[in-house]
Amino acid sequence: MFRWIYKLPLRLRSLFRKAKSDNELNDELQFHLQSQMQELITRGMPPEEARYAALRELGGVQQIKEECQEMRRVAWAEHTLQDLRFAVRSYLKNPGFALVVVGTIALGIGVNAAIFSLVNGILLQPFPYPDSASLVNASYTGPVPEGAYVGFQQRLKSLEIAAYSVGSGFNLSGEGNAVRISGTEVSSNLFSLLGVQTQRGRIFQPGDESPGKDYIAIVSYSLWQTRFAGDENIIGRSITVDDIPRQIVGVMPADFAFPATSTQLWIPARVDASNMWADFRFWVIGRMKPGANIESARAEFKAAVPNVVAEFPWKMGGTYAPMFDIGPLQHDTVGRIRPTLFILLGAAVLILLVACVNVANLLLAKSSTREREISIRAALGASRKRIIRQLLTESMLLGITGGAAGLVLAFFSLNLLKSVLPAYTPRLAEVKIDQYVLGFSLLLSLLTGLIFGLAPALHVSSADLEQSLKVSVGTSSGRKRKRLSSILAAAEVALAVVLVSGAGQLVKSLYDLTQAQTGMQTDHLITAKINPASSFCRKNNSCIDFYSQVLQQMRSVPGVKVAAVADGIPLYDVGRSVLAVQDRPEYSAQNPYSIWEYTVSPDYLPAMGIPLLRGRNFDDTDRANSAKVVLVEKSLADLFWPGEDPIGKQIKPSWMQQWRTVIGVVQNVRAYNVVPDDYAARIMGAVYFPSSQGITGVPQDLSLVVCVQNDPAELARQLPGLVAQVNPTVAVSKIRTMDEIIHLSVTEPRSNTWLFTAFALLALVLGLIGIYSVVSHGVSQRTREIGVRMAMGADKWQVLKMIVLQQAKVIGLGILLGTVLAFGLTRLLAGMLHGVHSADPITFITVVLLVSVAALIATYIPSRRATQVDPTVALKYE
Amino acid sequence: MGKPTDLIQGTLDLLILKIVALQPMHGWGIAQRIRQLSKDVLQVNQGALYPALHRLEHSGWIAASWGDSENNRRARFYSLTRAGAKYLKQQQASWDRLSVAINFVLESTGS
Q: Is the pLDDT of residue A109 over 90?
A: yes
Neighbouring residues of A437: CB distance < 8 A, sequence distance ≥ 6 = A113, A116, A117, A120, A407, A410
Question: Count of alpha carbons within 13 Å of B7, Cβ hemisphere only?
Answer: 22
pLDDT average, residue stretch A783-795: 79
Which of A533-542, A629-638, A804-813 reaches the highest mean pLDDT? Answer: A629-638
> Per residue in A581-616, is it b (16+ CB within 10 Å) or e — as a string?
beebeebebeebbbbbbbbbbbbbbbbbbbeeeebe
Integer Cα distance of A877 and A37 in angstroms: 75
If 0-12 CB within 10 Å is exposed, 13-18 middle and 19+ buried, where does residue A310 land?
exposed
Interface test with A, best of B20, B46, B76 (most A CBs within 10 A): B46
A57 contacts on B by Cβ (under 8 Å) = 46
CA distance B27 to chain A (A): 7
Residue A376 lies in a domain: yes
Examine the domain organization and report whether A298 and A349 are in the same domain.
no
> Per residue in A436-450, is it b (16+ CB within 10 Å) or e — as a string?
ebeebbbebbeebbe
Confidence of residue A251 (pLDDT cuts 50, 70, 90): very high
pLDDT average, residue stretch A542-549: 80
Q: H helices within A516-641, ranges in order?
A: 534-539, 544-555, 604-608, 634-640
Q: Where are the beta strands (DSSP E) in A460-592?
A: 525-531, 560-566, 575-581
- The rounded mean pLDDT for chain B is 80
Listed residue (A780, A775, A800, A805) closest to A789, CA to CA: A800
Listed residue (A743, A715, A712) closest to A524, CA to CA: A712
B83 contacts on A by Cβ (under 8 Å) = 1-3, 6
On whether any CB of chain B is under 8 Å from the CB of A59, the answer is yes
Measured between CB atoms, which of B45, B51, B81 is closest to A71? Answer: B51
Query: In chain A, what percentage of residues exceed pLDDT 90?
Result: 21
Measured between CB atoms, which of B28, B32, B51 is closest to A68? Answer: B51
Collapsing DSSP to helix, strand or coil, A181 comes out as: strand
Please report which helix (H) or strand (E) contains residue A225, including its range: helix A221-226
Shortest CA distance from A36: residue in chain B = B28
* Tens digits of residue pLDDT in A491-527: 888 988 888 888 888 888 888 877 778 888 888 899 9
Examine the domain organization and report whether A774 and A671 are in the same domain.
no
CA distance to A127, A317, A329, A335, A382, per residue, from A131 (Å)? 9, 37, 12, 20, 56
Collapsing DSSP to helix, strand or coil, A400 comes out as: helix
Cα radius of gyration rounded to whole Å, chain B: 16
Listed residue (A434, A363, A468) closest to A114, CA to CA: A434
Please report which helix (H) or strand (E) contains residue A767, including its range: helix A747-781
Instruction: Check CB contact under 8 Å for A27 and B69.
Output: no
CA distance to A316, A547, A599, A705, A710, per residue, from A522 (Å)? 39, 23, 19, 11, 13
Q: How far apart are the first and last CA of chain B?
A: 29
Q: Is the pLDDT of residue A765 over 70?
A: yes
CA torsion sign for A392, A398, A401, A405 is: negative
Question: Count of alpha carbons within 13 Å of A3, Cβ hemisphere only?
Answer: 17
Answer whether the bond into residue A259 is a cis peptide, omega within 30°: yes
Examine the domain organization and report whether A385 and A506 are in the same domain.
yes
pLDDT average, residue stretch B32-57: 82
The answer to whether the beta carbons of residues A267 and A216 sit under 8 Å apart is yes
Q: Domain coordinates of chain B in residue numbers? A: 11-110
What totals of helices (H) and strands (E) does chain B contain, helices first?
Answer: 4, 3
Helix pair A95-118, A435-462: axis angle to 10 deg: 140
Write down the pLDDT at residue B3.
Answer: 40
* More confident: A536 or A309: A309
On whether any CB of chain A is under 8 Å from the CB of B36, the answer is no
Examine the domain organization and report whether A672 and A781 are in the same domain.
no
Cα radius of gyration rounded to whole Å, chain A: 37
On whether any CB of chain B is under 8 Å from the CB of A372, the answer is no
The answer to whether the beta carbons of residues A631 and A613 sit under 8 Å apart is no
B73 contacts on A by Cβ (under 8 Å) = 31, 34-35
B33 contacts on A by Cβ (under 8 Å) = none
Listed residue (B101, B90, B99, B97) closest to B18, CA to CA: B90
* Tens digits of residue pLDDT in A798-824: 888 888 888 888 889 999 999 888 888
Q: What angle do CA B15, B21, B26 make, to 5 degrees?
A: 75
Integer Cα distance of A414 and A555 in angstroms: 48
Residue A94 lies in a domain: no
In this structure, chain B runs to a length of: 111
Examine the domain organization and report whether A683 and A548 are in the same domain.
yes
Which of A24-38, A141-155, B36-50 reaches the highest mean pLDDT? Answer: A141-155
* Tens digits of residue pLDDT in A23-59: 777 888 888 888 888 888 888 888 888 888 877 776 6
Residue A109 lies in a domain: no
Residue A311 lies in a domain: yes
Integer Cα distance of A234 and A246 in angstroms: 12
Write down the pLDDT at residue A614.
Answer: 92
Write down the pLDDT at residue A712.
Answer: 84
B26 contacts on A by Cβ (under 8 Å) = 28, 31-32, 35
Examine the domain organization and report whether A772 and A798 are in the same domain.
yes
* More confident: A88 or A117: A117
Residue A108 lies in a domain: no
What residues does B77 pair with on adjacent strands? B26, B65
A71 contacts on B by Cβ (under 8 Å) = 51-52, 54-55, 58
Domain span including residue A721: 525-745
- Please, what CATH class does the domain formed by B11-110 belong to? mainly alpha
What residues does A530 pair with on adjacent strands? A702, A732
Integer Cα distance of A425 and A417 in angstroms: 12
> Per residue in A261-277, is it b (16+ CB within 10 Å) or e — as a string?
bebbbbbbbebeeeebe
Integer Cα distance of B45 and A64 in angstroms: 11
Integer Cα distance of A644 and A637 in angstroms: 9
Report the relative pairing of strands A660-666 and A629-633 from DSSP bridges. Answer: parallel
Shortest CA distance from B85: residue in chain A = A1
Integer Cα distance of B32 and B70 in angstroms: 14
pLDDT average, residue stretch B49-65: 84
On whether any CB of chain B is under 8 Å from the CB of A381, the answer is no
Confidence of residue A474 (pLDDT cuts 50, 70, 90): very low
Integer Cα distance of A856 and A775 in angstroms: 11
Which of A311-320, A756-765, A838-847 reaches the highest mean pLDDT? Answer: A756-765
On whether any CB of chain A is under 8 Å from the CB of B71, the answer is yes
Examine the domain organization and report whether A297 and A184 are in the same domain.
yes
DSSP state of A541: G
Chain CA centroid to CA A341, Å = 3
pLDDT average, residue stretch A304-316: 84
Examine the domain organization and report whether A866 and A718 are in the same domain.
no
On whether any CB of chain A is under 8 Å from the CB of B33, the answer is no
On whether any CB of chain A is under 8 Å from the CB of B97, the answer is no
Integer Cα distance of A532 and A178 in angstroms: 9
Measured between CB atoms, which of B47, B60, B83 is closest to A64? Answer: B47
Write down the pLDDT at residue B4.
Answer: 42
Which of A241-250, A311-320, B31-40 reaches the highest mean pLDDT? Answer: A241-250
Number of domains in chain A: 4
Q: Dihedral, CA atoms, B66, B67, B71, B73, nearest 10 degrees?
A: 40
Examine the domain organization and report whether A265 and A308 are in the same domain.
yes
Integer Cα distance of A479 and A462 in angstroms: 13
Please report which helix (H) or strand (E) contains residue A419, including its range: helix A384-420
Q: Is the pLDDT of residue A749 over 50?
A: yes
Examine the domain organization and report whether A370 and A315 are in the same domain.
no
Look up residue A843 and give its amino acid.
Answer: T
Q: How far apart are the first and last CA of chain A?
A: 37
Neighbouring residues of A871: CB distance < 8 A, sequence distance ≥ 6 = A787, A788, A790, A791
Q: Is the pLDDT of residue A837 over 70?
A: no
DSSP string, A312-371: SSSPPPTTTGGG---EEHHHHHSGGGHHHHHHHHHHHHHHHHHHHHHHHHHHHHHHHHHH
Examine the domain organization and report whether A635 and A755 are in the same domain.
no
Examine the domain organization and report whether A724 and A753 are in the same domain.
no
Interface test with A, best of B28, B72, B78 (most A CBs within 10 A): B28
CA torsion sign for A310, A314, A315, A321 is: negative
Integer Cα distance of A302 and A153 in angstroms: 13
A25 contacts on B by Cβ (under 8 Å) = 50
If 0-12 CB within 10 Å is exposed, 13-18 middle and 19+ buried, where does residue A114 land?
buried
Which of A298, A325, A352 is the last residue before a domain boundary?
A325
Write down the pLDDT at residue B11.
Answer: 80
What residues does A266 pair with on adjacent strands? A184, A218
